[in-house]
A and B are shown apart, each in its own frame.
Chain A
Amino acid sequence: MGNVPTTVKHCLSYEQLIQDYPWLRRWLLLEEKTITGHAYPKFVKIVEVGPRDGLQNEKEIVPTGVKIQLIDMLSGAGLPVIEATSFVSSKWVPQMADHSDVLRGIQRAPHVQYPVLTPNLQGFQDAVAAGATEVAVFGSASETFSKKNINCSIDESMLRFEEVINTARERQIPVRGYVSCALGCPHEGHIEPSKVAEVAKRLYEMGCYEISLGDTIGVGTPGSMFKMLQSVMKEVPTSALAVHCHDTYGQALPNILTALQMGVCVVDSAVAGLGGCPYAQGSSGNVSTEDVLYMLHGMDIETGVNIAKVIEAGDFICNALRRETNSKVARAKGRTL
C-alpha cells in the first residue's frame, strides 16, 4: 500500500488525477511521509479572535474607534477570518456593548469573514440587523461550566443554538460552533474526550460548518489533545475541525502542532495574545497569532497572512490598552539588536 502512491504519481499525470479526483490529493498527502512521518497541511486558516475573545477578557473598556481600527489593521494583514464582536447582552459583557457600531464601522475586506457571537435568537437578529454575514454559537463539554457560564445545561444550550442555526440556515448565514473545556474544566477538572465528541457532533449535525475545540483553561498537552481529537474525529470530519488553544501553561504551540499532525488545518489565535484567563488571574489566555504564524511559516505552511502587519496591529492595541504584548515574537522583534 505504501508503494502505490509513488507508482501512481510516476505513471500517470499527477495533476490530471488531482483534477479528476479531488479526494486523491488528501489521500496522497497522507501517504507523503515527512522526516517525522507526518504530513502537515500545506495551508492553515487562521481565525483571529483578538477583537472578540481577546478584548472580551481585557479589563480596560476599549473605545469603539479603537476596536474598528484594530479590525481594519487585521484585515490589512491578510487574515481570512476575524471575529469582530459579540451580540451578547451588554449587561453581561460591557466590553461588547458597542457591537452594532463596530460591525457597521469596520471596512470589510473582500474574501474576509467577520463572524460574530450570537448566544441566542435575539442576539442573532440584532447581529443580522447590524449586517452580520456569519455567526458563532458556544457550547461546552462540561455541564458545570455550562451552568455557571450561561446558566443552563448543555442540552438546554443546544436547544437555544438550534433556534439560531435554523434561523441562520433560512437566511443562508453560516454558523461556526465552539466547544469550550475540550481539554479540561476549571470546575470539573478532567473532561472525557467522548463528551467533547458528543457535543461537537451535535453542533455539526445541527448545521455548524466548523467546530472549534477550545482548551479554555490551557491545561491540555499534546497527549490530551491527541486523545480528544482522536475521539472527535470519529464523529466530525477533520476538515470541519479547528483548535482554539490557550497558552496559560505554555502548551498552546505544541498542542497546535499535534493537531496539525492529525490533519487539523484551522487554528484560532488572538493578536498579541489578547485576553487573559478568567480562571487564573493574571495568567495568559489566548495563544498569540504572531507566535502561531512564526511557527507555521517556519514550517513552510502557508497562511496568507503578513506577520509584520499583525505585529503592527498588536503594537497598536497594546498601546491602546497600555499593556505589554503576550506575543514572544512581537517582544523579540521589538528588541532585537
Chain B
Amino acid sequence: QDVSLSTKKNCIIYLAGQALPEKVKIVEVGPRDGLQNEKTIVPTETKIHLIDMLSASGLPVIEATSFVSPKWVPQMADQVEVMKGIGRIPGVSYPVLTPNLKGFQAAVKAGASEVAIFGAASELFSKKNINCSVDESLQRFNDVMKAAKEAGVPVRGYVSCVVGCPYEGKVAPEKVAYVAKRLYSMGCYEISLGDTIGVGTPGSMIEMLEAVSKEVPISALAVHCHDTYGQALANILVALQMGIGVVDSSVAGLGGCPYAQGASGNVATEDVVYMLHGLGIQTGVDLSKLMDAGAFICRTLNRKSNSKVAQAVCKL
C-alpha cells in the first residue's frame, strides 16, 4: 500500500501531474438511498444494526433515513424508530431527507441534527418525479431552509440527473450549475451532484464539474456517482483530480437503478475506499469493518454484494 507518488512539503498527493485531496469525506447513503431502492422491506432492527455497524467502521457521515410519506416510500416508514434507535457516535453526522416542512419538523422531533433536500437538473425528471418544475421544487424548500436556519440545522442539497436524464437524455451543464447555485445560495452547506442513471463518463463529468465550480466553490461540492454503466470509479477519480473531496457511496452498492431494471445503481463504498486507500488518500474508514457491514446487510437481504472488493475478498 506504499503510495508515495510525488510528495511535496505539504504532502499533497500527485497522480500523473495532478494534485489529489489528502483526505476524502465519504458520505454513506446505503441505509437511505440504498435501502430505498431495494425491493425487500428491511426490519427496523436490521436498519439500526446496519447503521451501527457503519458507524463503527469510521464513516463520518451516514444518511440514516428519509422523512417522506410512508405512502410513497414504504421502506422508510420506520423513520422515527430508526432515528431514535441508532447509537450515535460523536463526530459522526446522520443526515435525513426532508422533502417538505412537515418532514423537517418530524425529523427534528425525532432527533435529526442534519437534513437534506433534493433538486433535479432536468425539468422533465422533476415533473415526472415530484410533479412540479425545478423552480417550483426549489420554492417548496424555502420553508425547510428557513426552519432549518432558525433551528441551526445544516442542510445538504442534492442535484439529480447532473450528466443525463432518463427522459431528457443529455443535461446542459449550465442547468446543473444553475440548480447547484440556487441550492447553495438558499443555504445548503454542501451540494451533492448525482449521476442518477450512471451514464456519465470522465468526459461529461469534467464538463459538468467545470460549469458548476464556476458557481459553487469546489470545497462545497460532492459527487454521487451511479455505477450502472461501470463508470463510477473513473468518474470519481476525475472529480478528485478537480479538487473535489466529498464522495457519496453505498455499502455493498445497495440500491439498484429504477430506470434500468436489474442494473446496478449506487457505487459500492468498499470499492471507493479500496481505490482511495490505494492512492494514499485518508478516509478514516476501516475497510474490513465496512465489509462486515456489507456482508451483514447482504445476508439479510439474501442477495449478493454489488461490491467487487467484497466479492473478491470473500473468495480467497
Contacts and interface: CB of A to CB of B under 8 A. Distances in A.
B49 to A, nearest CB: 26
Interface in B175-197: none
B145 interface: no
B231 interface: yes
B279 A280 contact: no
Interface string A261-285: 1100000000000000101111110
Given A254-B237, A337-B259, A281 B315 contact: yes
Interface residues of B, number: 52
Contact of A36 (B238, B277, B278, B312): B238
Interface string A285-297: 0001001001101
Nearest to B243: A36
B43 to A, nearest CB: 29
A222 B203 contact: no
A299 B202 contact: yes
Contacts of B151: none
Given A35-B206, A257-B234, A279-B316, A221 B308 contact: no
Nearest to A336: B260
Nearest to B231: A295
Interface stretch (A12-20, A106-114, A133-141, A327-335): A327-335
Contact of A299 (B201, B228, B264): B201
A226 B238 CA distance: 15
A38 B17 contact: yes
Contacts of A283: 308, 311-312, 315
Contact of B230 (A36, A190, A291, A297): A291
Contact of A249 (B2, B228, B259, B309): B309
B210 A251 contact: no
Interface in A202-223: 218, 220-223
A332 B259 CA distance: 9
Given A251-B278, A282-B311, A332-B263, A36 B229 contact: no
B5 interface: yes
B3 interface: yes
Nearest to A300: B203
A294 B5 contact: no
B271 A249 contact: yes
A294 B315 contact: no
B199 to A, nearest CB: 8
A329 B229 contact: yes
B257 interface: yes
A288 B16 CA distance: 24
Interface in B14-44: 15-18
Contacts of B18: 36-38, 261
Contacts of A337: 166, 259-261
A277 B237 CA distance: 25
A336 to B, nearest CB: 5
Interface of B: 2-3, 5, 15-18, 166, 198, 200-204, 206-207, 210, 227-231, 233-234, 236-238, 241-242, 257, 259-264, 268, 271, 274-275, 277-280, 307-309, 311-313, 315-316
* 5 tightest A-B CB contacts, nearest first: A298-B201, A221-B278, A250-B308, A328-B230, A299-B203
9 contacts: A223-B15, A249-B271, A250-B274, A250-B275, A254-B236, A279-B316, A280-B315, A283-B311, A331-B264
